[in-house]
């Protein structure tokens, strides 16, 4: 199957803008791009030059990390850019649609609406797992992209690899399956929910989004990768601005994904995973907590008896969390990112104190029975 058969015909036919850096790479006397001949700040960092649109060193390293050929890697400004490019290339306004499983990451629907594409929904099950068959049953000829977030933001559950691969197979010829693996580094290794990055492009409709924003601690640099069949990568590059990756951000990314950077990432992820278990267990004991959703990510989504009181208490303690009550089935929930152990302790202390305040004020709190 040629995945480009699913793309907008006008995008397939588009002649990409050809930038100065693409037409003439490398060295010599560079007088072709109207750049300053002098580097800024007096030292030769090369920032007076337009950057390489897709630096080979970065693509090679990301390809190695994710287990794919470099031709299957598109580096961009976070996975948000990957989402946006996919929607623009595959969904025609007022004709095509994306399919999502709410409650899930909001950028899929936002990008689709900006593009004028439809958004079809197939909700998660009551336990917030993906209902693959229900999702597949909702695929119409208009649906060009099916988004699965694994682990899912804002609920934290992941999706078994076998389910993802079965869905990709079932969608062959019909739609691209886009698996957003923003949090996959935090997944418990034995959960059967590891990354499918190495399968990106095989089958040809399987696309995987990865990011350096979470486990790699580089949200400020805005670097992510889209992994896909090389034809999809080439198509999306036509839509990208000519110089998508700022040189200082590429430098930061290369440092982050170096061997030393990878070691540090693994240590920090291991600490976060231990904190997830510790904090999750402690929270589940607290009187103000209704339920801690099982999480494979670097956050805990927690349902509270009185979320308004909890938000007030946290905010008085100077702790900012994400209010996710607007999402379907999460009307009483807050999403709390795991911080340092000290920060997590502060959250626990604040929530513990919350019990008394809320119980005194409302007289309707659940009372924990001592074991």
Ligand X SMILES: *Cc1c(COP(=O)(O)O)cnc(C)c1O
Closest CA to 85 of 201, 239, 212, 228: 239
Contact code string over 223-252 relative to ligand X, x by CB under 6 A: -x----------------------------
Q: How near is the Cβ of 151 to ligand X at its closest, in Å?
A: 8
Query: 11-25: b or e for each residue (b if 16 or more CB lie within 10 Å)?
Result: beeeeeeeebbeeee
> Where does this chain touch ligand X (CB under 6 A) — which range of 33-41, 77-85, 86-94, 345-353?
77-85
Q: Does 85 bind ligand X (CB under 6 A)?
A: no
> Where does this chain touch ligand X (CB under 6 A) — which range of 47-55, 165-173, 211-219, 247-255?
211-219
One residue of 66, 105, 128, 304 binding ligand X per CB under 6 A: 105
Strand partners for 337: 299
Question: Could you say which DSSP state residue 199 is in?
Answer: G
Q: Which residue, 3 or 78, is less far from ligand X as judged by CB?
A: 78
Q: Which residue, 115 or 158, is less far from ligand X as judged by CB?
A: 158
DSSP strand pairing (176-180 vs 143-149): parallel
> Where does this chain touch ligand X (CB under 6 A) — which range of 120-128, 207-215, 318-326, 353-361?
207-215
Q: Which residue, 182 or 235, is less far from ligand X as judged by CB?
A: 182
Helix (H) or strand (E) holding 233: helix 230-239
* The two three-digit tokens of residue 317, written as one number: 């303690």
Q: Does 182 bind ligand X (CB under 6 A)?
A: yes
* The two three-digit tokens of residue 206, written as one number: 């399987």
Q: Does 149 bind ligand X (CB under 6 A)?
A: yes
How many binding residues for ligand X (CB under 6 A)?
13
Compute the residue count for the chain: 371
Q: How near is the Cβ of 336 to ligand X at its closest, in Å?
A: 14
Q: Does 213 bind ligand X (CB under 6 A)?
A: yes
Q: Does 272 bind ligand X (CB under 6 A)?
A: no
* The two three-digit tokens of residue 96, written as one number: 């095509």
Q: How near is the Cβ of 153 to ligand X at its closest, in Å?
A: 4
Closest CA to 202 of 164, 239, 154: 164
Q: Does 80 bind ligand X (CB under 6 A)?
A: yes
Q: Report CA-CA distances (Å) from 130 to 8, 49, 169, 289, 292.
A: 28, 46, 16, 25, 18
CA atoms within 13 A on the CB side of 128: 23
Question: Vertex 72, ends 91 and 188: CA angle to 5°?
Answer: 95
325-344: contacts with ligand X (CB under 6 A): none
> Where does this chain touch ligand X (CB under 6 A) — which range of 74-82, 230-238, 311-319, 361-369?
74-82
Query: 207-219: b or e for each residue (b if 16 or more CB lie within 10 Å)?
Result: bbbbbbbbbbebe
> Where does this chain touch ligand X (CB under 6 A) — which range of 76-84, 125-133, 320-328, 333-341?
76-84
One residue of 54, 122, 195, 211 binding ligand X per CB under 6 A: 211
Q: Does 124 bind ligand X (CB under 6 A)?
A: no
Contact predicate 37/48, CB 8 Å: yes
Strand ranges for 72-162 from DSSP E: 73-76, 97-100, 118-121, 143-149
Closest CA to 100 of 327, 313, 312: 327
Q: Which residue, 4 or 115, is less far from ligand X as judged by CB?
A: 115
One residue of 101, 153, 195, 301 binding ligand X per CB under 6 A: 153
Footprint on this chain of ligand X (rule: CB under 6 A): 78-80, 105, 149, 153, 180, 182, 211, 213-214, 219, 224
């Amino acid at each position: 199957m040629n995945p480009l058969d699913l793309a907008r015909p006008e995008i397939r036919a588009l002649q990409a803008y050809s930038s100065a850096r693409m037409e003439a790479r490398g060295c010599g006397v560079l007088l072709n791009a109207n750049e300053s001949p002098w580097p800024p700040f007096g030292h030769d960092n090369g920032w007076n030059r337009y950057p390489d649109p897709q630096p080979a060193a970065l693509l090679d390293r990301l390809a190695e990390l994710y287990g794919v050929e470099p031709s299957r890697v598109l580096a961009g400004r976070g996975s948000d850019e990957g989402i946006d490019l996919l929607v623009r290339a595959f969904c025609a306004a007022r004709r095509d649609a994306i399919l999502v499983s709410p409650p899930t990451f909001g950028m899929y629907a936002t990008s689709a609406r900006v593009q004028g594409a439809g958004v079809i929904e197939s909700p998660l099950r009551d336990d917030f797992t993906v209902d693959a068959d229900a999702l597949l049953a909702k695929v119409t000829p208009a649906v060009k992209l099916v988004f699965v977030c694994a682990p899912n933001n804002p609920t934290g559950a992941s999706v078994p690899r076998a389910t993802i691969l079965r869905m990709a197979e079932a969608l062959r010829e019909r739609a691209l399956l886009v698996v957003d693996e923003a949090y996959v580094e935090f997944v418990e290794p034995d959960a059967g929910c590891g990354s499918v990055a190495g399968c990106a492009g095989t089958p040809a409709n399987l696309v995987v989004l990865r990011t350096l924003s979470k486990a790699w601690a580089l949200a400020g640099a805005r670097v992510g990768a889209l992994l896909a069949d090389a034809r999809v990568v080439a198509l999306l590059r036509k839509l990208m601005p000519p110089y998508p990756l700022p040189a200082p951000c590429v430098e930061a990314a290369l440092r982050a994904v170096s061997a030393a950077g990878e070691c540090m990432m693994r240590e920090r992820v291991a600490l976060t995973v231990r904190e997830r278990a510790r904090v999750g267990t402690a929270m589940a004991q607290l009187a103000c907590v209704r339920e801690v959703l099982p999480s494979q990510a670097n956050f805990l989504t927690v349902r509270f008896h009185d979320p308004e009181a909890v938000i007030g208490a946290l905010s008085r303690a100077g702790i900012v969390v994400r209010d996710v009550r607007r999402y379907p089935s999460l009307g009483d929930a807050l999403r709390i990112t795991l911080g340092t152990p000290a920060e997590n302790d502060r959250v626990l202390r604040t929530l513990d104190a919350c019990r008394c305040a809320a119980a005194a004020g409302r007289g309707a709190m659940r009372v924990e029975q001592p074991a």
